[in-house]
Structure 1
């Protein structure tokens, strides 16, 4: 099975100059725990999680921060044609829960650890990834 078969293809993103408040409101409205940060051409620059907002903005008491200030950069991505098993290994190896899916340097979807588990695909790999992610590792 390929990533394109199980990814969520209708994915929104925020701009690097979006305020943290705007990002949080969009995440709340869409009921999502992370959101990619993309430039005007759809190239993924980073990703922001609800945890990033709490630890890098709220806990610091800085309301002036922008998405580019708190996003995780140099992120791991998948491609639509990647084998789902290989994607599951990325979750475990990089201790992440979500993978932006890119094609031709543009965001085309997102794959979550939950997508893999929900489809009953690679149950062992999904469990291994969740176990690896759950280990304390500091701020990511």
Structure 2
């Protein structure tokens, strides 16, 4: 089974000049924890997560009108629609991410989450292993 079989293909992408508040409200409305950031041609240039908003926005004292380009993660880890779900789970675990943009021909066509992998009973073990790797602290707890 490939990512295209489990991914969400109706996604919202923010422009880099969108405000942090605008994107946070969209996250709440869509009940999602991340939104890809794309240029005017739907080419991904970053991703903004609820964690980015808190750690890079709120904690750093940025104004809510600051743009998402100020706090987004720029090193995008992604997959293609033809990536096998086993490989997607491995990539999630290795990179400690819960969501991956799905890119085809340089444009974003969907998102796949750890939850998308877990709903397919066949891949519960892979999703569980990826989640375990994602949840492993990257540095010691205080």
Shared topology, TM-score over 0.5? yes
Task: Give matches, 1:1-140, under 5 Å.
Answer: 1-63=1-63, 64-137=65-138
Q: Distance in 1 between matches of 2:127 and 2:6?
A: 14
Count of residue pairs the alignment pairs up: 138
Where structure 1 has 5 or more consecutive residues not aligned to the other structure, the ranges are none
Deviation at 1:30, TM superposition (A): 1.2
Write out per-residue CA displacement over residues 44-74 of structure 1, whole angstroms, 9 at most, x where no aligned residue. Answer: 1111111110111112221142111111112
**TM-score, structure 2 as length reference:** 0.93
CA RMSD of aligned residues (A): 1.1
Structure 1 ranges of 4+ moved more than 6 A: none
Q: Which runs of 5+ in 2 are unaligned?
A: none
SS at match of 1:121: helix
